Amino acid sequence: MDEGRFDIGIEVITDYVSEQSEPSADRYVFAYTITITNNGNVPARLISRHWIITDANGKVQEVSGDGVVGEQPYLNPGEEFRYSSGAVLETPVGAMQGLYRMESESGVNFDAPIAPFTLAVPGVLH
């Protein structure tokens, strides 16, 4: 039986939050806004997330949990869900990547990979 096409689009916009950061204490706060779009042809729910956050010192934080920002959004084909969250690094530059575990209406689980993206204090990277 044809399960349909799973295609989850993920767009990320990042921002450095200077008013919450304290560079002298190795505290750099970043916000990110993610738009998740169901480009497939079957409805799907975001069940959980898994992030790998790496700073410039090579320190890795892994974050897993149910849903995003306390929600498990259900996306029909063509629908999108946007949310904002944040990360705190000990260095002015870092990277994040990960995946969303999705579940189709028929109960099939599949992963939507989140391509690596950079977190950087403006002016640090040239």
pLDDT tens digits along 81-101: 999 999 999 999 999 999 999
Q: What is the value of pTM for the model shown?
A: 0.91
pLDDT value of position 126 = 62
The C-alpha atoms of residue 102 and residue 72 are separated, in whole angstroms, by: 9
Write down the mean pLDDT value for the chain.
95
Q: What is the structure's pLDDT at 1?
A: 41
CATH placement of domain 8-120: 2.60.40.1470
The one-letter amino acid code at 54 reads: T
